[in-house]
Chains A and B, each alone.
Chain A
């Protein structure tokens, strides 16, 4: 009878997680936002934030966990072709998880400093590389609007060359696919799901308004860590 109580679904679930952790497989969970869904209005509507976080990001995480579990199995069995076949799913879903985790930290409500231009070393570096923050914003908006289909537009620092760059990536490719030394400071999601309900097809409007809720403080912190 003691065994029966042990074998309930709940305990079985715990058992499988136990097994995973025993295997050393770290799975991922949806990170919480440090602000409410509606806190970024009117730049980004609460409906978009909720769908984006609870549905899209969660799907990426679920599929990523599935993919790395399958990868783990394939590697343990020595199944090279399956391991390679899973790579596109890992790049897409894993990239989606990585990118969106950065994205949530890149946003902050105006009450918490969103939209405030950067000071300190990042501000100075921007003035050096792009003349002014406004010019940088214009450049990023132009590149973001020009992305065909789905992708991201990034402000990154090359940690080897200590230089700021503006890059775009397609689909959910993480920024490292554009250069191994690039560290993302600010990423803007230009997938249609990020703005469609509010801005329909007018991506330039979305790009113009999102700067009002960009968290430059986080970007400055990352920059100062890479280029002290």
Chain B
């Protein structure tokens, strides 16, 4: 009690007028008294607070028994359940107006910014509610949700996210022309000539009914290139083939630029947009999984 008395004395001596307001005094006293009370409480914590029976029954966490500092530490150590990692929207590696005049900036803004973004956000929403699917990588997720032909609702969004990422990478500004090096050799081996391949690819694009994709795939079993068409969101990944090139034949991909002229869109894609470098890179990687050539066994 000695320290409080001295404080009181200090205050009275420092004030200019000797007349000390009675209110101030009581307030000051009360404050000191409450400090003392808090100190005592801190010392005799457990005895002063009532015992909570339910805590002993395990119904309530005993964190109320900790003081403020300890409670803060515990709160941090207990992992909050709102930190998760999901899929993000990856932008194409070129500016939106880089593909003009073959694919307009507006198309990319809407196709990437709204369609692709919508798919990513819907996928994240699905994954936040489903712990089992959250654990898969993208490739596995597509295969699992395809469910061998009976796709789950998550399949469409997951596959479309993957498909669109693949599609942006299949195009480049200043694309088109002819494939190079080993890719050209392989195309000539499997299709006869590049002209044949191009014709077949465009014909597949035009005879596709409804929404879908046209793919150049490397077939694992047959060890050769082939052209495949799929409807809606299906991708050759579900058949375990390796896609090398894709063309989006959903109407949203070309409607703003070409209205209903699919033939012109497919031709322009082949002539000016397709990135053979990307396809070459993908084929090089695919050769790690599929043995394309004849093994060169030296004759002794």
Contacts and interface: CB of A to CB of B under 8 A. Distances in A.
Are A and B a genuine interacting pair, yes or no? Answer: yes
Interface string B228-258: 0001110000000000000000111001100
Interface stretch (B15-23, B133-141, B204-212, B268-276): B204-212
B210 A150 contact: yes
A31 to B, nearest CB: 18
Contact of B209 (A55, A59, A171): A171
The bracket for how many chain B residues form the interface is 10 to 19
A136 to B, nearest CB: 24
Given A88-B209, A201-B110, A201-B118, A148 B255 contact: no
Nearest to B115: A201
B259 A149 contact: no
Interface string B95-138: 00000000000000010001100100000000000000000000
Interface in A156-191: 170-172, 191
Contacts of A15: none
Interface residues of A, number: 20
Contacts of A193: 251, 255, 260
A148 B231 CA distance: 10
Contacts of A88: 209
Contacts of B210: 92, 149-151, 170-172, 191
Contacts of A191: 210, 251
A196 interface: yes
B248 to A, nearest CB: 12
Interface in A9-64: 51, 55-56, 59
A80 interface: no
Contacts of A170: 210
Given A148-B233, A149-B210, A55 B114 contact: no
Contacts of A208: none
A84 interface: no
A92 B110 contact: no
Contacts of A171: 209-210
A148 B232 contact: yes
B255 A92 contact: no
Contact of A197 (B118, B231, B233, B255): B255
B260 A148 contact: no
A200 interface: yes
A149 B255 contact: no
A72 interface: no
9 contacts: A148-B156, A149-B210, A150-B211, A151-B210, A193-B251, A193-B260, A196-B256, A201-B114, A201-B115
Interface of A: 51, 55-56, 59, 88, 92, 148-151, 170-172, 191-193, 196-197, 200-201
